[in-house]
Chain A
């Protein structure tokens, strides 16, 4: 992997795509993230693990400023710097729409719009003002191929997205997230509503996707983190306990708390 100029290499010399620096976040008076720091490596899969309620989703949703949609939520210090342009995503000067145009998201439950398969994927492009039919056709096709869904839906693009199976719907949402050519895709427990076979196909897809895009994934399934991620961050009650190369985190964690969680002694 080529390291872009001006970007510090992270662990193992891989370029950084983003880094979280001393991030504090509040839901009203509740301090949900406490001085969280972690690097996000370019074209790698980074997994966030930790017990339910520890702040994984909260951290993930900072990356696309989802918290801005609700009153009372507050970024209270620190930031998330996106490379190579060194933009602080959480800076009040940065428009959340601009952030969401660069970083897309796949949710826990598949949430296709009640529109056709084609329009679901095309929506990411339409909000960017694309309306040329042949251009849309091309981009939708390549996004569906990228999400390993094209073969299953190429002859029924006008059908409703909701008519697909759960796993297909989630891949449709991945295609929607992929269509706009984002720099990072955020996944919030994308397989927790799916059966094991659909889960396996999504996991396989995520591993393939890192060719194209940087991936940050929340999972409460440690085996999943071990299977698909290059780096793992372990969080506990709003704090970043440990970050490292996935193999090291799972084989030889530095912190006792991480080891207890991973070996199932707690959590």
Chain B
């Protein structure tokens, strides 16, 4: 190379760069293609569902019970069931998951018992959901006698998403710099004061994101809910508190039988008539919309809460 003059050297370098950059181009295209496969599949499925289902969407569809006649059938019992089950899932899973995550990060002694618990929490997240259904059938439905109720379903899904919330809580807590913790203790704060005044507020964005992602997973779960015995056809709502005769108690609804959106869809797709397939597509559209709305909420919450926190 010593015999090259300056111009030749520059030419040579440019040639090398051009060659190397071809790989950049190659990988950009490869990456975009990979992305497209996933994205396009989703878009095609979603558009297909929307084309079939959207014409069925009307106020009646949301306010009607399922019916033997496809054009009269609606998702009232299903969406109410889904909302109520999700409410109980959140009420059970959030306090338990957050408390467990905070305990593991801020209180637990660092020893082998804690290590074993940590490994198993990650494992729990990988257990097939139907196994949770079987566990719940034995534990909640029969042993505790909650029956095939909204309560049993809510607790089952809570178990299912507990690992997600615990892991999200721990990751959010770990992102808090140690010097913030030390700053709090140096002021004379106790463990609990540090958790309540700093750890929880500063990790809230991450925790909420985890909660919503967990809920978005739970909302589409079918197998464990069928396992514990959700009904596939239900033409009444749980009695609201203080309604009916004799008046229902504040919490009577949690023992009511129920169905949820994915089960309603599953029920309709198994019917031969094309009209029911349209109903299923419409319900699917609503379910996907609910999930996307939750994810949107997660992004918004994260953005709002993180605005004040920079490290």
Contact = CB atoms under 8 A, between A and B. Distances in A.
A119 B42 CA distance: 48
Interface residues of A, number: 26
Task: With a 10 A CB-CB cut-off, give which of A64, A104, A109, A114 has the most chain B CB atoms.
Answer: A114
A164 interface: no
B179 A113 contact: no
B310 interface: yes
Contacts, number: 64
Contact of B185 (A66, A114, A126, A173): A66
B110 A71 contact: yes
B110 A105 contact: no
Interface in B286-311: 308-311
A257 interface: no
Interface in A87-145: 97, 100-101, 104-105, 107, 109, 111-114, 123-124, 126-128
Contacts of B193: 127
A160 B188 contact: no
Nearest to A104: B186
Contact of B308 (A104, A160, A176): A160
A100 B183 contact: no
B188 A69 contact: no
B270 to A, nearest CB: 53
Contact of B183 (A111, A126, A180): A111
Given A97-B190, A113-B198, A114-B308, A69 B185 contact: yes
Contacts of A105: 186
A109 B178 CA distance: 12
Task: With a 10 A CB-CB cut-off, give which of B184, B186, B198 has the most chain A CB atoms.
Answer: B186
A127 B189 contact: yes
A162 interface: yes
B187 interface: yes
A124 B185 CA distance: 10
Given A71-B109, A71-B110, A100 B186 contact: yes
Given A71-B109, A160-B308, A111 B188 contact: no
Interface of A: 64, 66, 69, 71, 97, 100-101, 104-105, 107, 109, 111-114, 123-124, 126-128, 160, 162, 173, 176-177, 180
10 contacts: A100-B186, A107-B182, A111-B179, A112-B183, A113-B180, A113-B183, A114-B311, A123-B197, A176-B187, A177-B186
Given A66-B182, A177-B186, 12 more contacts: A69-B181, A69-B182, A104-B186, A112-B183, A114-B310, A123-B189, A123-B197, A127-B190, A160-B308, A162-B310, A176-B183, A180-B188
